[in-house]
Amino acid sequence: DEEPAETETPEPGELQPTPTQVPVSGEPAFTAASKLTTVGLDEIFFGDPVEDAAEKASTTWIGLPPAGSAPQCYTVQPSGGPAGVVFTVVDGRIERVDITTATITTRSGAGVGSTETQLDELFGSQLEVAPAAGGNQITFVPQSEQDKVFRIIWVTDGTTVTEMRAGRLAQVQPRTPCSG
């Protein structure tokens, strides 16, 4: 008779091997845990080359221009979603993100569905409010010198945020991406 093989049990305090996490294809690149800041969304930063940004988010882009063409400005979406997240690419670099899903918020929790009152309570004097079609455009102006060229902008229906966007000043100010 053969004895059963002994299984090795790690000693207390000994490191146990952990399986390698492999991203599952089809998983959304951004989730409710994703956070928008003045400088980017999660690990994607404004100014990142579009290829590097896809790698950082473990996604591929929908909307890339055909190989060999080189448009100055275009928009892309992460494959697998979520819907309502669109990046603007200028000269091959991510420069802006538009968000219409309530899933993604700022680190402070502001996003689509927030009220103008909530934005004021969160950010107060750092906000600039201007009338916009059917509501207001509320712009967060960072105080730090290193972030002075970035903005987060919320568009409201007069009371509630319907969309938000963030990016560098020149690209984030126009309501429509690639409009000048």
Summarised one tens digit per residue, pLDDT across range 122-176 is 999 999 999 998 999 999 999 999 999 999 999 999 999 999 999 999 999 999 9
Does residue 61 surpass a pLDDT of 60?
yes
pLDDT more than 90, % of the chain: 78
Who's near 76: CB < 8 A, 6+ residues apart?
A: 50, 61, 62, 63, 64, 86, 87, 89
Look up the pTM and report it.
0.84
Render 49-111 in DSSP notation, one character per residue.
BHHHHHHHTT--EESPPPTT---SEEEEEETT--TTEEEEEETTEEEEEEE--TT-EETTS-B
Amino acid 26: pLDDT: 61
pLDDT of 27: 78
On the question of pLDDT at 9 being above 60, the answer is: no
For the stretch 23-37, pLDDT in tens is 445 678 999 999 999
How confident is the model at residue 159, as a pLDDT? 97
